[in-house]
Amino acid sequence: MAGKKVQLLIDLFFCLVLLPVMIYLLPIERWLENNLLFVCLLVAWLYIVYFVNRVFTIPSLFKNRQRLIWAVIVVLAMIGITYLLSQYKMEFHFQRQPGQPPAGGPPQRTFSPMKFRLHQQAVWFLFVIVMTFSSAIGLLGQLYRLRARRQELEVAKNKAELSLYKAQIDPHFLFNTLNTLYSMVVTQSPKTEDAFMQFIDITRYIYNNANQDSVDIDSEAHYLQQYIDLQRNRLNACTKVNFTYNNDGKYPGLTIAPMLLITFVENALKYGVSTSVETDINIDMQVVDGVFSLSTSNPIRIKPKDENHVGIGIENSRKRLDLIYGNGYRLDINQTEDQFDLNLTINLKKS
C-alpha cells in the first residue's frame, strides 16, 4: 500500500511538475503560435512514453523471454514514432531584418533549416529525459516489489519453521503428561481426578493459544504453574519443586510467545527428579521493568545418554527465540556433570 502511494506521488510529480518545466525551457511559445496541433501531439506522446516504459517495458525485463522480446519491440516502436515527430517541419513567421521596409499583406511563414535542427534536438532531448526518468522509476519500483516479495517469503518461511518447532514440542509435552496420568491411574492415586482436571485446563490452554503469535505473560505463567502442579503428582517426598513468579506491573499487557517456556521447565523436571536422594528443583520467573527472566536450576539425577546433550526441545526453543526475538533475548546454559543451570532473559518491551 505504501509503495503504491509513493508511485502515485512520483507520477503526479512527473505529470504536473517535471515534464511541464522541461517543456517550458524550450521555445514552446513560438511552437504554439503556428504548430499547436504538433505541440499537443508531442506532449501527449511524452506522457505515453513515460507510462508505457514504466508500466510495461521495465517490468518486462524481469519477466520471461517472450515479454523481453515484446519490450524490445515496444522500445523500437517508441524510437520510430519519436523519429517521425522529430521530422515534422515547423513553420515560423518571417521576421523582417532591422531597417527593412514593411511589406504589404499578412505576415509570411518560412522554413528555417537551423530552427528545424533545434526542433529535432528538442524532441530527442525530451524523449531521452522521459525514457531515463521513467526507466529509473520503473527499476526502483521493481526493486521495491522484489524486496517486498523476499520479505513475504521470509515471513512465510519463519512461520512455517515456528509451526514445525511447535509441532515437535507440543506432542513431547503431551506424551510426558499422559505418562504421568497413566502412572497415577495404575497406582490409584487419590489425586488422579484433580490431575485430570489440571490436564484438561492445560490442554484447553494449548488448544486456544497454540496458533497465537503471543499471549499475556501472566497467562503463560499460570499455565506453567498448572503444569508444575500436575507434575508434582508423580513426585515423591525426595523431590521438591520450588516455583516463583513475580511481575512488577510497570508495563501492563506484556505478551510472550505461547508455550515457549514449557520446554525449559520440562527439562528441569525431567533430569532433576530423584526417588531416593533429596533434590531441589528451582524455577524462578520475573518481570522487572518490562524485561522477562526465567532461571531454572536442578541437579542432574537422571543421566542423559549424551553427557553434553541439551535436548531437542531446548534447541527448538532456541530456534523459536531466534526467529521471534532476534537480538532481543539471551539464553545462557551452564551444564556440568551433576548440575544444570539455565537463564533466559527477553526484553518484552521491544517485542
What are the sequence ranges of the domains in the chain?
Answer: 2-91+112-151, 189-350
Q: Using the 8-state DSSP alphabet, how is residue 291 labeled?
A: E
Task: Give the integer Cα–Cα distance in Å for 347 and 153.
Answer: 26
Q: Are 342 and 296 in contact (CB under 8 A)?
A: yes
Quote the pLDDT of residue 77.
Answer: 93
Provide the CB-side half-sphere exposure for 270 (13 A, CA).
18
Quote the pLDDT of residue 164.
Answer: 58
Q: Are 259 and 209 in contact (CB under 8 A)?
A: yes
H or E element that contains 319 = helix 312-325
Q: Cα 268 to chain center, whole Å?
A: 35
Q: Using the 8-state DSSP alphabet, how is residue 259 labeled?
A: T
Cα dihedral sign for 195, 200, 203, 209? negative
| Partners of residue 45 on adjacent β-strands | none
Matching residue, cell 504548430: 35
Task: Give the integer Cα–Cα distance in Å for 22 and 26.
Answer: 7
Which residues have a Cβ under 8 Å from the Cβ of 212 and sit 6 or more positions away? Answer: 258
Is the pTM here over 0.75, yes or no? no
C-alpha grid cell for residue 153?
Answer: 517469503
13: number of Cβ within 10 Å: 13
Quote the pLDDT of residue 169.
Answer: 56
The answer to whether domain 189-350 has CATH 3.20.20.70 is no
Quote the pLDDT of residue 240.
Answer: 92
Q: Are 52 and 131 in contact (CB under 8 A)?
A: no
Q: Are 230 and 243 in contact (CB under 8 A)?
A: no
User: 113-186 and 65-86 helices cross at what angle (nearest 10)?
Assistant: 160
Quote the pLDDT of residue 308.
Answer: 47
Strands (E), 221-326: 239-247, 255-256, 279-288, 291-299
Strand-strand pairing, 215-216 and 239-247 = unpaired
Q: Using the 8-state DSSP alphabet, how is residue 350 labeled?
A: G
Helix residue ranges, H only, 187-283: 192-209, 217-232, 262-272
Mean pLDDT per 10-residue run, the chain (351 residues)?
Answer: 76 84 72 75 90 90 85 92 83 49 50 72 88 90 83 70 60 73 84 86 83 89 91 84 94 90 88 86 95 94 60 80 89 90 92 63
Helix residue ranges, H only, 35-112: 36-52, 58-60, 65-86
* 329 residue type, one letter: Y
